[in-house]
Structure 1
Amino acid sequence: MDIKIGIINSPREIAFETKQTAEEIEQAVADALSSDATHLTLQDDKGRKFIVPSVALAYVEFGAEEARRIGFVA
């Protein structure tokens, strides 16, 4: 799944692919925003972790869950 995270006062976004489901990511974002958590932590396919302060989250965009196709499609 493709994920894009927008950061307040930053012209760039964080973009990565993860094996987590949309529901897992949505729950992690909701927990970070509604509780006393100070940050959101997500991990990509390569094992890298992204830690974003909860107060700096502008948006989180979910992409398609299907794998990308390679080659020609008829």
Structure 2
Amino acid sequence: MSVEVKIGIDNNPRELAVTTPATGDEVDAKVSAALDGTDAVLSLVDEKGSRMIVPSAKIAYVEVGTSESRRVGFGA
């Protein structure tokens, strides 16, 4: 199961959205390390293998959630 991560960046009206094959616990550990000052950057790899790197000092917020398929239609 993949995890959807949304990152708000200071002084930027848009958020960065990444869907990563990492588990929620792995993403949580990386975010915690970035926000507590252990790591200078938050680095995530998306499902296609692209690496997203955000400086820890510029992170405004991080939203982590599972990327489940949404049901659409009358049978939902």
Q: Could you report, residue by residue, the CA deviation over 1:41-74 in whole angstroms, capped at 9, with x for unpaired residues?
A: 01100001010000000111112243x1577562
Decide whether the 8 Å contact of 2:19 with 2:67 is kept in 1. Answer: no
Q: Which of residues 38, 55, 58 in structure 2 aligns to 1:56?
A: 58
Aligned to 2:47: 45
Aligned to 1:5: 7
Aligned to 2:37: 35
* Count of residue pairs brought into register by the alignment: 73
Q: 1-side partners of 2:21 and 2:38: how far apart?
A: 26
Q: Could you report, residue by residue, the CA deviation over 1:7-63 in whole angstroms, capped at 9, with x for unpaired residues?
A: 011011101211111111110011112234211101100001010000000111112
**Aligned partner of 2:56: which letter?**
S
Percent identity among equivalent residues?
Answer: 42
Aligned to 1:18: 20
Give unmatched runs, 5+ long, in structure 2: none
- With structure 2 as the length reference, what TM-score do the two structures score? 0.81
- With structure 1 as the length reference, what TM-score do the two structures score? 0.83
Deviates more, 1:27-36 or 1:42-51: 27-36
More strand by share: 2
Give unmatched runs, 5+ long, in structure 1: none
